[in-house]
């Protein structure tokens, strides 16, 4: 993304919040990204998130975003979103979705 969004040059004093497994930061791509951020006088801050959300919170999030289409991912029961949110598209693993 740094190449596409910033032409391999981070904005001055860029602050990046990283929410993921911290060992990923040891991978070459993240080592490179961290270096670019620091060169720009910025910082990378690891933050913890659980990866889980309460039903009422996801309902509020979807209501506020008001998407044209909701595609549930990272869930064992994507069908549970149908009838609660509209429109919902449940995809099989590996099934492509053309976004227009």
pLDDT given for residue 73 in this prediction:
85
Percentage above 90 pLDDT, the chain: 33
pLDDT given for residue 11 in this prediction:
87
pLDDT given for residue 59 in this prediction:
87
Which residues of the chain fall short of a pLDDT of 50?
A: none
The two structure tokens encoding residue 66: 């008001």
Residue with tokens 């099989």: 92
pLDDT given for residue 32 in this prediction:
92
pLDDT given for residue 4 in this prediction:
78
Side-chain half-sphere CA neighbours of 6 within 13 A: 12
The model's pTM is 0.49
């Amino acid at each position: 993304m740094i190449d596409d969004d910033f032409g391999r040059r981070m904005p001055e004093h860029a602050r990046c919040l990283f929410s993921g497994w911290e060992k990923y930061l040891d991978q070459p791509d993240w080592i490179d990204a961290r270096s670019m951020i620091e060169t720009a006088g910025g910082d990378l801050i690891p933050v913890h998130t659980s990866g889980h959300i309460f039903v009422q919170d996801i309902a509020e999030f979807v209501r506020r975003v008001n998407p044209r289409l909701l595609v549930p991912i990272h869930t064992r029961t994507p069908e549970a979103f149908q009838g609660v949110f509209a429109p919902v598209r449940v995809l099989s693993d590996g099934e492509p979705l053309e976004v227009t």
